[in-house]
Amino acid sequence: METYKLMYFDGYGLGEPARWLFALAGQPYEDYRFQEGEWPSVKPNTPCGQAPILVVDGKQFSQTKAILRYLAKQFGFFAASDWDQARGDMVADYLDDIRKPLPEIYLEKDEAKKKELLDNYMENFPKSLKNLEKILTENQGGDGYFAGDKITWTDVYFVCNINIFTRMLPKTLLEPFPKLKALMERVESLPAIADWIKRRPVTKA
Ligand code: GSH
């Protein structure tokens, strides 16, 4: 039996989707969160100088989606066909594009500038969600998941990211997109996910 240790900062960010996959799989792991000031001494000993890092039986690798794909394969959350997985990869990569401006907005200290950045972002966000609603609808009418006929890591990545975004963006974001909204509710209400959301450490970011 493998031992797993997920190393990340004490926040949701790029570490949280892997935590959701561990929860969904019911797989025990060490949810290691760097202490204040610890990262600079860890960084030089990591493959890319970035977190999250997954340590499996003492060996490590990094990159969020590499970690998610690896865990998905171990736990049965990889798409069943190459085609379905390609569609799932498309959604995950698109989500990264959508998320790109958010750290700058989040870290902006000047309130007026922050509002300007956020207003600008919010003008474009619905267009991206409209595309995602269409992509979801193309798979089994949109009443299931993004890739094939079962939940995959892409659905977890999508729902977890939107769950994090809506801490900073309006909660009503998904109202015009019923298929995406239903997918959020479907995944967030899975007992293992609902339980993790309830018991996970509450952090600022
Ligand atoms: N493409 C990488 C991934 O998906 O894992 C990006 C990782 C990344 O930017 N991680 C940030 C980090 O390690 C935290 S969210 N920052 C500290 C540093 O670069 O020293």
The number of beta carbons lying within 10 Å of the beta carbon of residue 38 is 11
pLDDT for position 120: 93
**pLDDT-derived band at 166, boundaries 50, 70, 90:** confident
Q: State what percent of residues in the chain have pLDDT above 90.
A: 93
Give the C-alpha distances (Å, rounded to integers) separating 198 from 5, 18, 89, 195. 21, 16, 28, 5
In this prediction, does ipTM exceed 0.95?
Answer: yes
The pLDDT assigned to 45 comes to: 98
Kindly list the strands in the beta sheet with 30-33, ordered across the sheet, starting from the edge strand earlier in the chain: 30-33, 4-8, 53-56, 59-62
Give the whole-angstrom CA distance, residue 84 versus residue 96: 19
Give the model confidence (pLDDT) of 29-79 as tens digits. Answer: 999 999 999 999 999 999 999 999 999 999 999 999 999 999 999 999 999
Query: In which element (H, E) is residue 61 found?
Result: strand 59-62
Q: What is the pLDDT of residues 4-35, one digit of tens each?
A: 999 999 999 999 999 999 999 999 999 999 99
Residue 65 Cα: closest atom of ligand 1:
4
Q: Which pLDDT band holds residue 138 (cuts at 50, 70, 90)?
A: very high
User: CB neighbours of 73 closer than 8 A, spacing ≥ 6?
Assistant: none
| CB 50 near ligand 1, within 6 Å | yes
**Higher-confidence position of 106 and 109:** 109
* Ligand 1 pocket mutation, candidates 7, 8, 33, 50, criterion most atoms within 8 A of CB: 50
Structural domains of the chain ordered from first start: 4-76+193-199 (3.40.30.10), 82-189 (1.20.1050.10)
Q: Which helix H or strand E contains 94, and what residues bound it? A: helix 82-99
